[in-house]
Structure 1
Amino acid sequence: MSVLTINNLNLNFGSTTVLKNLHLAVNQNEIICLLGASGCGKTTLLKAIAGLLPIEQGDIHLAGQCLKSKAVEERKIGLIFQDYALFPHLTVADNIQFGLSKLPKDQQKTITEKMLSVVHLQGFENRFPHELSGGQQQRVAIARALACQPELLLLDEPFSNIDSQTRYTMIQEIKQILKSQNVPAIFVTHSKEEAFAFADKIAVMDQGKIVQFGKPNELYHSPVNPFVADFLGGTNYLNCNVTEDKVLCSPIGEFRLFPEMEVQKGRYRWLLRPEQIILKPNELGLGTVVGKLFLGLYYRYQVEIKGIEIVTYQSQELKIGEQVEVGFQVREFILF
């Protein structure tokens, strides 16, 4: 059963519509990512759920209750900002206890100790925010939000201030914390890598709409349109024809489609992922390396074959101008 449901949500800034007919459902203990470019409406949606922006049309229900008329403080929602919004003059313990002022002191202490244990910061209770690393500050912000026992957690660009060397370690740690507390969460990012690593499901947004919603691997392998395909990874598009007997005819060769594919005869654009392309040095090969970038674990190559330029990633080092044999390891055909 869904903890959060959003139906037909619309929101305008003056004459500009920023959210259009949005529908979304979040289940218990599920982590949802709102993924999209700047200005697509993802942070606006987060603020509307939190109550920081008015709902003009449609409705939002949390744990069966309509939020439309509820003030921010009446919604059992934890909100973690991009800069964590910790109080610099308060200790870690006092930051965590900030939303617990109505509870008896001994209960505040018990909850604080539990939260410190949950986020692995025992012994840090008397430190101040400036004495913590970015990752530790983030965990304090999460502990403060979880201390109030929210029914939903909202995170705005939670990993943008974490350096690249520790980002994936933090993603794994925060995901484990949220799962251990059985709290559903929605987070905003423009990074597909963060979305893939952190989310159970992804809502790709564009111009105020959710273009596609589903599990990360489903979206990657079955994008509904070129926009989603491009946003989720590097792509090559080849014009092709599909015959009645399901043979794909392209400038780089002919390929028999899988029998279970329901594809009509006609013209298509074939999405060929970089990882589906295999290069092998061969003086008689039909491909020529025309571009090369070293990216650490692998190289990004541009290869020209039969007048078509394609992009691929390979761990082997090749030279500009080198002739290569181009092979294909296609596990699915994505046609638009």
Structure 2
Amino acid sequence: MLKIKNLRKKFGQNEILKGIDLTLKDNEILSILGSSGSGKSTLLRCIAGLESSQYDELSCDLNIGFMFQNYALFPHLSVYDNIAFALNKLNKNEMNLRIKELLVKFGIEELKDKKPDQISGGQAQRVAFARAIAAGAKLLLLDEPFSNLDQGLKESLRAELKDMILKEGLSAILVTHDIDDAYYLSDKIALFDGGEILDIGAPKELFYSVKNPKSIQMLGNLNYINSNLPSGDKFFDWIKSRNNIFACSEIYMGGEFEADVIDKSFMGLFYKIELEYKGVRFYTLWPSCLRVENRVKFGFYN
């Protein structure tokens, strides 16, 4: 449905996108994860045609809708008129019918005369979604839709957004800097850094099979042992079999190995614990209901 080959973008002499290759299938949700300034929003704007770019191929066979950061509803327009803005190519009768259909579908018909500052965050998301797909979009582009929201509201809106995307049978590309957004919403995740894709894959596959050490910080809760490990130790041999990268969740309490507890941080449901085994330090996550002594037994999942 969407295919990009060797897409490049410069602002003056500053190269923002450095040869992006990307494909998206029908009904697939892709998250582009990266820090501010990594080029992820620029990529979204290039796909939407809002920025010019150079490429060997950029093909998309479906209409594109765009949900901007914080929804970007026009504050001086009613809910009705915000949706109507996306339908200016229709005649008045067609426009009214389409808006009525969308208002009913997303449960916002009672809000049609209200301004954006008179509705809740969840209602604003539904209005923005309706506007983005009003003209028949089947590929939805979302630029940081949950930025600056508190965690409770974000979790609620995230679930509702995913439900709307699935029910409408859309494909979607989400730009975010929040790994939880990416894990929850995505069929696959692309890790972005300095205008390049470092890693891409299904969330679980990506997390447990990291290819690039730079990806570790973005994914979180991974250990990278940046040192030469001696052979003949079962734990060290396992680490080397994982290319010196393994998840905190792969270490369990109890087992044949013994380590010193260097640090213990309470994180609500779990402790994040730093262990030291034969001079090598790494982290694990253990349930916070457990008692953790200064020296502990541990094992690893094969």
TM-score, with length taken from structure 2: 0.89
Residue type matched to 1:84 in 2? Y
From 129, 136, 142, the counterpart of 1:149:
136
CA RMSD of aligned residues (A): 2.7
Whether the 8 Å contact between 1:292 and 1:300 is mirrored in structure 2 is yes
Q: Select 2:27's aligned residue among 26, 29, 39.
A: 29
1:294 aligns with 2:266: yes
User: For the residues of structure 2 that align with 1:103 and 1:217, how far apart are their CA atoms?
Assistant: 44
Question: 1:82: which partner in 2?
Answer: 69
The residue that corresponds to 1:17 in the other structure is 15
**1:221-236 correspondence to structure 2 within 5 Å:** 221-236=208-223
| 1:126 aligned residue (113, 121, 136) | 113
Shift of 1:254: 5.1
The alpha-carbon distance between structure 1 residues 117 and 216, as it changes in their structure 2 partners (threshold 3 A), is farther
The counterpart of 2:153, out of the listed 157, 166, 174, is: 166
Q: Distance in 1 between matches of 2:94 and 2:125?
A: 24
Q: 1:52 to 1:254 in 2, by over 3 A?
A: closer
Q: Which of 18, 22, 36 in structure 2 is aligned with 1:38?
A: 36
Given the superposition, is the C-alpha separation of residues 51 and 250 from structure 1 closer, same or farther in structure 2, using an over 3 Å criterion?
Answer: farther
Once residues 152 and 272 of structure 1 are traced to their aligned partners in structure 2, the CA distance between those partners, rounded to angstroms, is: 35
Letter in 2 for 1:194: D
Checking the alignment, whether the CA contact within 8 Å between 2:70 and 2:146 is kept in structure 1 is no
Alignment match of 1:277 (pick from 251, 255, 260): 251
Q: CA deviation at 1:216?
A: 1.2
Q: Is contact 1:111-1:147 (8 Å) kept?
A: yes
Looking at structure 2, the residues matched to 189 and 177 of structure 1 have their Cα atoms a distance apart, in angstroms, of 18
Which structure has greater helix proportion? 2
Shifted more, 318-327 versus 136-145: the winner is 318-327
Residues 187 and 203 in structure 2, CA contact (< 8 A), matched pair in contact too: yes
For residue 15 of structure 1, what is the amino acid of its counterpart? Q
Contact kept in structure 2, 1:10 and 1:58, CA below 8 Å = no
Q: Output one character per residue of 1:232-259: Cα deviation in whole Å (capped at 9) or x when no partner.
A: 12222344669xxxxx7458555599xx
- Cα distance change, pair 103–254 in 1 and its aligned pair in 2 (3 A): closer
Distance 2:217 2:233 in 1: 20
- Does the 8 Å contact 1:78/1:150 carry over to 2? yes
Q: Residue 188 of structure 1 aligns to a residue in which SS?
A: strand
Give the C-alpha shift of residue 316 in structure 1: 3.5
Which has the larger displacement, 190-199 or 209-218? 209-218
How far apart in 2 are the matches of 1:94 and 1:112? 9
**How far apart, in 2, do the equivalents of 1:25 and 1:118 lie?**
30
Q: Matches of 2:236 and 2:212 in 1, distance apart?
A: 24
Query: Aligned pair 1:312/2:284, yes or no?
Result: yes
**Which structure has the higher relative contact order (CA within 8 Å, separation 6+)?**
2
Higher-Rg member (1/2): 1
Q: Deviations over 1:79-120 (max 9, x none)?
A: 211121211122111211122234233322221222223333
1:182 to 161, 169, 176: 169
**Is the contact between residue 288 and residue 304 of structure 1 (CA under 8 Å) also seen in structure 2?**
yes
Deviation at residue 140 of structure 1 after TM alignment? 0.8
One of 208, 216, 219 as aligned partner of 2:206: 219
Alpha-carbon distance in structure 1 between the residues aligned to 2:126 and 2:51: 26
Cα displacement (A) at 1:149: 0.9
Tell me how far 1:307 sits from its aligned partner.
2.1
Structure 1 pair 16/312, CA: closer, same or farther in 2 (3 Å)?
A: same
Contact 2:269–2:288 (CA<8 Å) still a contact in 1? Answer: no
Provide the secondary structure at the position in 2 that maps to 1:166.
helix
Normalised TM-score (structure 1):
0.81
Alpha-carbon separation, structure 1, partners of 2:236 and 2:49? 55
Matched position secondary structure for 1:313:
strand
Paired position in structure 2 for 1:72 = none
The answer for unaligned runs of 5 or more in structure 2 is: none
Matched residue SS, 2:111: coil
Structure 1 residue identity aligned to 2:96: K
Distance 1:43 1:322, change over 3 A: same
Q: Report sequence identity in percent.
A: 37
